[in-house]
Amino acid sequence: MPSEEVLNKIMEAGTFAPSGRGAQAAIIVAVTNKEVRDQLSQMNAEILGTKADPFYGAPVVLVVLADRTKHTYLYDGSAVMENLQLAAHALGLGSCWIHRAKQEFDSEAGKALLKSWGIEGDYEGIGHCIVGYPDKLPTTEKPRKDDYIRYVR
C-alpha cells in the first residue's frame, strides 16, 4: 500500500490538471478502505459482467468525479485522471484507468456511496485510477501507430 504521503503527492498533481475557465469541476476521492474498495470492485465487475476484480488487486482506488453543471466537466475530469497516472508513474507506482465509474455513480448504490462520503451535487463518475506497487514492470510497450502525428504545413 502506498503511503499517505505518496498518495497526497499523486493527488496534488491531479489538482493541477487544466480545467475549463479554471472551474476545477473535478474532485478526487482516495479509497484506501478495503471494504469500500471491494464494494467498488464488485459494483464495477457487475457492470462489466464478470466476477474477476476489475481493479487487478490494486489496494488504492482514486475515484475522479466531476460536476456535471460545469460545461467542461468531462474534459476536466479526464485531465485529472491523466495527471494522476503520470504522477504515479513518476513516483514508481503502477496505475491504470478503469472505466465504468459513470454507471457506478449513476446507480442508486453509487449515489448512496457519494452521500455517505459527504458529496452532494450533480457529480458524474469520470474514472477510477487504481494505484499500487506492481508485481513486475512491463518490459515492452505497445508500438505507436505510424500516423499518430501529422503536420499541416
CATH number of residue 71's parent domain: 3.40.109.10
- Whether the CA torsion 119, 28, 123, 42 is positive or negative: it is negative
Range of the domain at 111: 4-132
28 found inside a domain: yes
149 found inside a domain: no
Q: How many domains does the chain have?
A: 1
DSSP one-letter string for 16-27 = TS--GGG---EE
Helix segments in the chain, DSSP class H: 4-15, 34-48, 73-90, 101-106, 108-116
Q: What is the pLDDT of residue 142?
A: 86
- Residues 37 and 89 sit within 8 Å (Cβ to Cβ): no
Q: What is the pLDDT of residue 140?
A: 77
Burial label for 66, CB within 10 Å (0-12, 13-18, 19+), is: buried
127 found inside a domain: yes
pLDDT in tens, 4-31: 999 999 999 999 999 999 999 999 999 9
Q: What is the pLDDT of residue 136?
A: 81
Instruction: Pick out the chain residues at pLDDT < 70.
Output: none
Task: Specify the residue for cell string 499500487.
Answer: 132
Who's near 4: CB < 8 A, 6+ residues apart?
A: none
- Residues 57 and 12 sit within 8 Å (Cβ to Cβ): no
